[in-house]
Amino acid sequence: MSSTATSDANSVQEEPGRFTSGPAIVLYIAGAKLLLHLLTANRYGIFRDEMYYLACSQHMAWGYVDHPPLTVFIAWLARHVLGESLLALRFLPALAGAALVWLTGKLAREMGGGRFAQALAALAILPVPFYLILHHWLTNNAFEPLIWMACVWCVLRAINTGDERYWLWFGVLAGVGFENKYSIAFLLAGILAGVLLTPERRFLKSKYLWLGVAACFLIALPNFLWQMRNHFPFLELIHNIRMNHRDVVRGPIAFIADQAVTMQPILFPLWLGGLIWLFVAPGARRYRLLGWTFVVTLGLFIVVGGKNYYVAPVYPMLFAAGAVGFERVTSCRLPWARAVYVGLVVVAGAVLAPIFCPLLSPEAFIRYQKALHITVPQAEHQNNGPLPQYFADEFGWEPMVQQVARVYHSLTPEEQARTAIFSNGWGEAAAVDFFGPKYGLPRAISKHNQYWLWGPRNYTGEIMIILRSDGRGDRRHFESVQDVATVEHPYSRRDEWFHIWLCRGPKFNLQEVWPSLKLFD
């Protein structure tokens, strides 16, 4: 099908001008999102996961216990090209957020949306709590929605143009998605169901679709081989998390209800309308595959007990569909509804943005949250203190490392050479590795997740500075256990309040007992 025919099929109206066209407005909105995240990049401190990815970037590999390698590579790239400032680390995630806005506008255009639909679809990305939070950090979640929607765009292009080569690019992107986060398997299952349940099953005969499958497999293969060589630690991790009930598991009705809250309540009619439009509108029949994709993806996350925000990466396609449907419904009737709804989205976004984006000081945030009477839903069972977990995890790290440094430098140089800084959690170990060079500290060791695979290095346990422990177990394993410092920050998570123990005279050899210390959760 020619590009002209495609344009006719999509019913994309002629835009009034270069700087006021739909794509131009979408770019303005994308620029606003990028600016928001860049201006707030230094607002609080570094996030726990960011330090972990940076620690992993010192040990480049095709896999890690709790995540694939792509974000580690991005961390390595940011560190070596841009530096380790918060702005440098968070530039690429912010850029991914802006790209998601741009791509959502393109999805609306691909579905036949005109200027208003493209702008509304793009605007809908800005106030979503999940996107505001995740595009603020360097984590794999920052890139996940963009990769998912790039896959969806390839599907739409294949449908609209009949060009089967888009399935090859779909496979390439899906393979990259596996190297970013394994949850893309749920999107692929949804798209497969959509292909089977709609006339798009015709693509099953395409060699390009199967070449895409092969490309996906080959790109994901190095990480799969790493997991296999290491006895699939990720599966062990997931099993242990389920056994210790760390995550908040919601029932089907509560999980579905959560979607209206976690994706911003004012956007609920937009994405729900988009889902309905995909299934019932005659003009959307060719895109019904996407409706099934959402339903199946949502259903699978409910079945496996996933966190309520795991579905968030799939919503931009529903925003696009809803914007196109809304544009068509209001084209002749109720034109005022467009301005009213856009105004509501902007106002709701402005009111709730300080809850999910670090615009305020911690003190002002606490007052603002109390004034709005908003309680952020928890995804994990833990005591976060006065701030929600996503902000609490940006506080207290450097003061903790300062305390560790004070203890470490109280030792003689000969003792320091034999002293291991050991943490029961990877977060504290990553903080020591990140801030430690500034304070003259060696790299930390830990039994937790990827740190366990890196081993105890050359330490035997003769002298250990132990973090995140209540000291009871340490007293059983060492001749001398001293309570040498206390760590507590008013805004950090309460499980980050602990004593630092200086332990001597081990009743074990750390090299020998290390295999038994493994903790994957």
Q: Per residue in 164-216, pLDDT tens? A: 999 999 999 999 999 999 999 999 999 999 999 999 999 999 999 999 999 99
Amino acid occupying residue 27: L
Q: Which of 247, 238, 244 is nearest to 379 (CA)?
A: 247
pTM above 0.85, yes or no: yes
Tokens of 383: 């005591």
Nearest to 275 by CA among 302, 301, 293, 250: 293
Dist CA 430 CA 48 (whole Å): 8
Which residues, other chains included, contact 122 with Cβ-Cβ below 8 Å and sequence gap of 6+?
A: 25, 26, 29, 30, 101, 102, 104, 105, 108
Rg of the chain over all Cα atoms, to the nearest angstrom: 25
In the chain, the amino acid numbered 159 is I
> Residue 206: what pLDDT?
96
Indicate the pLDDT class of residue 378, thresholds 50, 70 and 90. low
pLDDT > 60? residue 7? no
Backbone angles phi, psi at 230, to 5 degrees: -100, 20
Tally of CB atoms within 10 A around 480: 13
The amino acid present at 259, given as its one-letter code, is Q
Residues 126 and 29: beta-carbon distance below 8 Å? yes
**Nearest one of 134, 143, 131 to 49, comparing CA atoms:** 134
Q: What is the pLDDT of residues 385-443, one digit of tens each?
A: 899 999 999 999 999 999 999 999 999 999 999 999 999 999 999 999 999 999 999 99
Contact 157, 166 (CB under 8 A): yes
The amino acid at residue 163 is D
Task: Give yes or no for a contact between 352 and 129, defined as CB atoms under 8 angstroms apart.
Answer: yes
For tokens 């908040």, what's the residue? 248
Nearest Cα neighbor of 11 from 125, 153, 113 is: 113
CA angle 490, 492, 495 (to 5 degrees): 110
- Does 380 have pLDDT greater than 70? no
Amino acid at 63: G
**Residue 18's pLDDT band (cuts 50, 70, 90):** confident
Tokens 């003190």 locate to 363
Per-residue burial over 419-452, b if 16 or more Cβ lie within 10 Å, else e, is: bbbbbbbbbbbbbbbbbbeeeebbbbbbbbbbbb
Six-digit token string for 340: 């009213």
Given pLDDT bands bounded at 50, 70 and 90, which one contains residue 3? Answer: very low
The amino acid present at 62, given as its one-letter code, is W
